[in-house]
A and B are shown apart, each in its own frame.
Chain A
Amino acid sequence: MTDKIIHILLLIVMPPLLLGVINKTKAWFAGRNGPPVLQSYYDIIKLLRKGMVISTTTTWIFIAGPVVTLAAVLLAGMLIPIGSFNSPIAFAGDLILFAYLFGLARFFTTAAAMDTGSPFEGMGSAREVTFACLSEPAMFFAFLVLAKLSGSLTLTHMLHGPAEGFSSAMAAPLILVSIGLFVVLLAETCRIPVDDPNTHLELTMIHEVMVLDHSGPLLGIILYSAAMKMFILGTVLLHIILPFQTRTMWINWPMFIIELLGLAIVIGIVESIMARLRMRHIPGLLIAALLFCGFGFILLVRYNQ
C-alpha cells in the first residue's frame, strides 16, 4: 500500500523536475547559469492561477484537449511499474490500454489545436499525427520483445522481466529495443532532434505550435501533462536499460529517482550536442527506430528457435 501511495505521489510530483534538470543541463552546456531546477513548478503553478483567454473560433473541444490529455496520461502512469515496485493497477493486456491512452490524448490534443483554425496549429497537428504513425508500431514491437521475454501481457511483469531473469541472450534484443525506444521517447516528448521545445519559429515545431492559443490553466495543464508523459516513457525505458534492483526495498525508490534524473541529463546532453533534424528527415529517424525494435524481435525469435 505504501508503495502505491509513493508511486502516485512520485507520478504527480516529480515530472516537472525532469524539465528543470534538462534545462539546467542545457544551460550548463551553453555556459549559462540557467533557470532554477524548480522553475517548471513555478511556471505551472503560476499558469494555473491565471485567467484564460480563449479564441472566439473554438468550441468545447478546445478545453477538452488538455483535460483529456492529462486524464489519459495520469491513467497511463498508473499502469507502469516504477523501479522495482508493481504498478497500482495491472491486468493482462494493460499494455494496449497504455498505448491507446496516449492515442486518446493525441486525438484530443490535435483536435483542440485544429479547433482554433490557425494554420500554424494545423501544421503542428498534422506532424504530430503523422509521426505517431511510425512511433506507435515501434512501441508495439518493443512491447512484443518484452512480452516475449517475460511471457506475460501485463506491463508490470513485462518491464520487470529483464531485471528478474537476465541472460546474455537477452542483451542484444534489449539493446536494440532500448535504442528504438529512446528515439520514440524523444519524438513523443518533442525533444531535439525531432522537435525543438525552445524555438519561436512555428514552422519548425510540432508540439509547441499546437498549443499556441492555449493560455492560463489550460497551458499549465499541457506543460504538466507533457512532463508527466516524459516521466512515464522515461520510466519504461529505464526498466530496459538499467534492469538492476537491490534487495533492500527502501533503497529502490531513491535509486529510481537518481536513474530518472540521470536520464533527464542524458536527454539534456542530446539536446545540447545535436541540432534539430530537418522536418522531412524525421520520418527516416522514426523508421530507423521501428527497424531497431523490429530487428530486436527478430533476433529474439531466431535465438529462441
Chain B
Amino acid sequence: MSLALIIIAISFAAASGLPGLFLSRRTVWGQRIALFMMSISTILGLAGAFLALVVDQSRTLIFPWPAMGNSIVGIDSLSAFFLVPVLLMGGLGSIYGLGYWPQLQHIRNGRKLQLFWGLLVAGMSLLVISRHAMAFLFGWEVMALAAFFLVTTEDHMNESRRAGWIYIISTHIGTLTLFALFAFWRWATGSYDLKPIASDAISLTVMNVLFFLSLLGFGLKAGMMPFHFWLPGAHASAPSHVSAMLSGIVLKMGIYGLVRFLSLMPEPPYLWGSLILVLGGISGLLGVVFAIAQHDLKRLLAYHSVENIGIILMGLGLATLGRSADRPEWIVLGMAGCLLHTWNHSLFKSLLFLSAGSVVHSVHTRNIDSLGGLAKAMPWTAAMFVVGAVAICGLPPLNGFVSELFVYIGLLGAGITDGSLVAVIIVPVLAMIGALALACFVKVYSAVFLGTGRTDAVAHAHESPISMQIPMLILAACCVAIGLAPVLLPPMLDNAISSCMIGSDVPAISIGTVVPLKAVSFMSVLLVVLVISMAAFVRLRNRFPRCVGTWDCGYACPTSRIQYTASSFAQMIVAMFRWVLHPHMHWPHIEGLFPKPVKMHSHVDDIILDRVIMPASGKFEKWFGWFRRFQQGMTQQYLLYILITVILMMSTMIPFKEFITRLFAR
C-alpha cells in the first residue's frame, strides 16, 4: 500500500512539468497544472511515507530490468523518514513558486523551472527507495542533473552560470566516486543489491575502501567541510525556493547515502566513527565561521547548511562509535540526533530560505548591508525569519533544540563514561558552534529586518503574496510542533533507527527511554506560556507608550548610515577567526585636509574554492597548456598524427620475434 502510494507520487512529480511544455509560454495554466500534480504527489507520498514510518512495514518490489538483472525498489522506515521532507518541500516549493516565480513574469525560464523541479523531487524519491545500485545511481543522476538546470535557471547571468559549472563538475566527481563505490561493492559482495553484508564476508581493507569511497562520494553531495566548495555559490544564485530545496533537502541525500551505507556494513572500526565526528566538528565550526563573514544573505544561509551538516555528522559519528563499542544508548542518541536534525534542518533551513526569498522578491538585493528595517514593511516575513533563526540556533522551545539535545546527551554520555576523547572535544565545539550561530543570526536578522533602511531599495519594500506566506507558515508550524511536542517523535524515530540497525545484534532501545522528552516538552510549553503571559501583562499595563526617536546623544541629524552594519557586527568574530578566514580588506586612500568621500570594503573568500582549487586549477591549466602545441588546427598536422598512429598500430603486427630469430638463424 505505502509503496504503491509512493510510486504514484513519484510518477506524478516526474510528470508535473510536462503538460506545461505543450502549453503556451504566456499562460498561467502550465504552472497551475504543475502545482496541482505536485500537490497530489505530496499528499499521496506523505500518506505513504507516514504509513511506512509509523507502522514500520518494509516492502520491496521487483521490476524486471534486463540489462542489470532485476531492479528493486523498497520502502522501510529509514527510506520513509527521508521521503517526508523531500515530498513536503516538493509541494510547498511549488506553492511558493506561484508567487515567487510566476510564469507570466518569467516567460523565458518558468517552464524549465517547473519541469526540473518535478524531476528533482522524483529523482530524490527514487534514490531514497531504491534497493539496487543501478536504480540508486539513476535517481542520483536525475537529482544531480535536475539540480544543475535549477541552479542555472537564470542562465543569462554570469554568476549563475559560474555557480552551475562548479556545481556540475563537483557533483560529477561525486558520481564518479559512486561508480567506483558500486563497482567495488559488486566485486566485494557479488551483486548490485543493497543488502547488509555479513560480518565475515569481507576483509577490513575492503570495508575501509568502501567506507572512504562512500565518505567522499556522499560527503561531496552533503557539503561536508573540505568538499563544500560548490555549495555556497550554487545555493546563492538559484531562485529562493530552489535554494531551499537544495540546501534543505538535496544535501540530505548525501546524508541518506552515508546512513544507508553504514547500516549495510558490518561492525565498523573505531576509526570511522571518530573520523566522522571530527569531520562533523570541522564542518560545523568552519561552516558557521564562514557564514558570519558573508555579506550575501543567501550565501550566508548556504554556509549555515555546512554547519548543520556538521551537527548531523556528529550524530552519525557518535552512532558509528556506538556500533563499534556495542553501546546501544550511543547508537540510539546519535542516530536520533542525526535523523531528527535532518528533518529539523530541512524544515528551518527551507523556512529561512523562503523568508530570504521573500526579502529578495521585495527589495531585489541580497546584500545584507544595504537592507534594514524590513520588519515594518514585511511583518510576516520577519516573524517567520525569527522562528527560523531561533530554531537554527538550537534554542528552546523550537525543534533545533531537541535534536541538538540528543547529540549533546549522547556526546556527554560518551565523554563521561568511557572518556572517549573525541566525543569530549566535540562537546565544547558544539557549544561554540551554537554561540557563533546565535551571533550570526542576530547579525543577519537585525541587519535585514531591524533598525531603519540603509538604502533606497528598502523604501519600496512590500509584503509577499499569500502564496508565498502559506508555505512559510506551514514550515514554521512544523518547527514549533516538533519543538513543543517532541513526545510525538519516538515511535517514528525508533522505527527509523531500527531499520538502520538490521545487520547489528545490539539490542534496540527506545529514544523515549534515554531522553526525558516529557520534561523537555513541559519546559518548552512553560517557557512559551511564561513569555506570552508576561508580554501580555507588560503590553496591557502600557497600552499607549510614548513614542520618540532612538536616543542619539543629542546629535542633530542622525542618518540611517550611523547604524551598526552587519559587517561591523561581525567584525570582532571575523578578527578572532582571521587565521582561517583571511579576510581581504580594501582600505581607501585618504589624503588632504578635506578628503573626498571614499569607500572601503572587505570580503572573505572560500577557504577551499578560492584558496586551493582555483590556484591549483590555474597551475594545471599552465602545465597542460603545453599540449596546445599539438593542437594548432592545421589539417596537414592532423594527417601526420593519423599517419604516425597508423604506423605505430601496424608496428604491433610486425612479428619481431620471428623476424629476429630468422635474422640470427643464418
Q: Which residues in A have some Cβ–Cβ distance to B below 8 Å?
A: 51-59, 61, 63-64, 67-68, 70-72, 74-75, 89, 91-94, 96-97, 99-101, 103-104, 106-107, 110-111, 114-123, 125-127, 129-130, 132-134, 136-141, 143-144, 147-148, 151, 153, 212-213, 216-218, 221, 283, 290, 294, 297, 301, 304-305
Contact = CB atoms under 8 A, between A and B. Distances in A.
Contacts of B530: 71, 74-75
Nearest to B519: A91
Contacts of A125: 442, 446, 564, 569
A120 B553 CA distance: 10
B432 A53 contact: no
B275 interface: no
Contacts of A116: 451, 550-551
B390 A144 contact: no
A55 B515 contact: no
A304 to B, nearest CB: 7
A144 B427 CA distance: 8
A59 B376 contact: yes
Given A103-B393, A114-B446, A133-B435, A147 B416 contact: yes
Contact of A111 (B376, B446, B538): B446
B422 interface: no
B431 A118 contact: no
A130 B439 contact: yes
23 contacts: A51-B545, A55-B550, A57-B373, A57-B549, A58-B550, A59-B379, A59-B450, A106-B438, A116-B550, A117-B452, A119-B563, A119-B564, A122-B446, A126-B570, A126-B571, A129-B435, A132-B439, A133-B576, A137-B429, A144-B428, A221-B538, A301-B424, A305-B419
Given A103-B435, A107-B390, 8 more contacts: A67-B534, A67-B538, A93-B405, A127-B572, A129-B438, A147-B416, A153-B416, A217-B538
A100 B432 contact: no
B435 A59 contact: no
A54 B396 contact: no
Contacts of A91: 516, 519-520
B568 interface: yes
Contact of B409 (A70, A92, A133, A140): A92
Contact of B535 (A59, A64, A97, A290): A64
A91 to B, nearest CB: 4
A251 B375 CA distance: 54
Contacts of A63: 535, 538-539
A118 B534 CA distance: 26
Contact of B450 (A61, A70, A129): A61
B541 interface: yes
A103 B416 contact: no
Nearest to B563: A117
Nearest to B562: A119
A110 B553 CA distance: 20
B434 A100 contact: yes
Interface residues of B, number: 84
Q: Which of A64, A74, A117, A305 has the most CB of B within 10 A?
A: A117
Interface string B524-562: 001100110011001101100111111111000000101
**When A and B form their complex, which 10 residue pairs have the shortest distance between CB atoms, in order from nearest?**
A122-B564, A117-B451, A114-B446, A129-B439, A137-B428, A91-B516, A91-B519, A52-B545, A71-B530, A140-B431
B3 interface: no
B515 A148 contact: no
Given A63-B538, A126-B564, A132-B438, A104 B569 contact: no
B428 A104 contact: no
Nearest to A135: B435
A71 B417 CA distance: 34
B527 A129 contact: no
A56 B571 contact: no
A118 B442 contact: no
B545 A54 contact: yes
B607 interface: no
Nearest to A52: B545
Contacts of A54: 545-548
B511 interface: no
A56 B386 CA distance: 20
A126 B436 CA distance: 11
Contact of A133 (B421, B452, B542, B573): B573
Contact of A115 (B416, B431, B450, B545): B450
A118 B446 CA distance: 11
Nearest to B375: A59
A106 B417 CA distance: 32
B394 interface: yes
B393 A107 contact: yes
Interface in B370-391: 372-373, 375-376, 379, 382, 386, 389-390
B523 interface: yes
B550 A117 contact: yes
Given A104-B395, A122-B569, A144-B427, A212 B438 contact: no
A297 B542 CA distance: 50
Contacts of A141: 428
Contacts of A68: 531
Given A117-B563, A129-B435, A136-B434, A100 B396 contact: yes
Contacts of B563: 117-119, 122
Given A67-B535, A71-B534, A103 B395 contact: yes
B538 A218 contact: yes
B180 interface: no
Nearest to B411: A144
Contact of A97 (B405, B451, B531, B560): B405
A210 B382 CA distance: 21
B441 A107 contact: yes
A114 B451 contact: yes
A207 to B, nearest CB: 15
A116 B372 CA distance: 11
Contacts of A119: 562-564
A111 B445 contact: yes
A51 B546 contact: yes
Nearest to B429: A137
A110 to B, nearest CB: 5
Given A126-B571, A133-B439, A137-B431, A117 B534 contact: no
Q: Which of A63, A129, A136, A217 has the most CB of B within 10 A?
A: A129
A297 B516 contact: no
Contacts of B416: 144, 147-148, 151, 153
**Residue of A136, A138, A151, A294 with most chain B CB atoms under a 10 A cut-off:** A136
Contacts of B382: 59
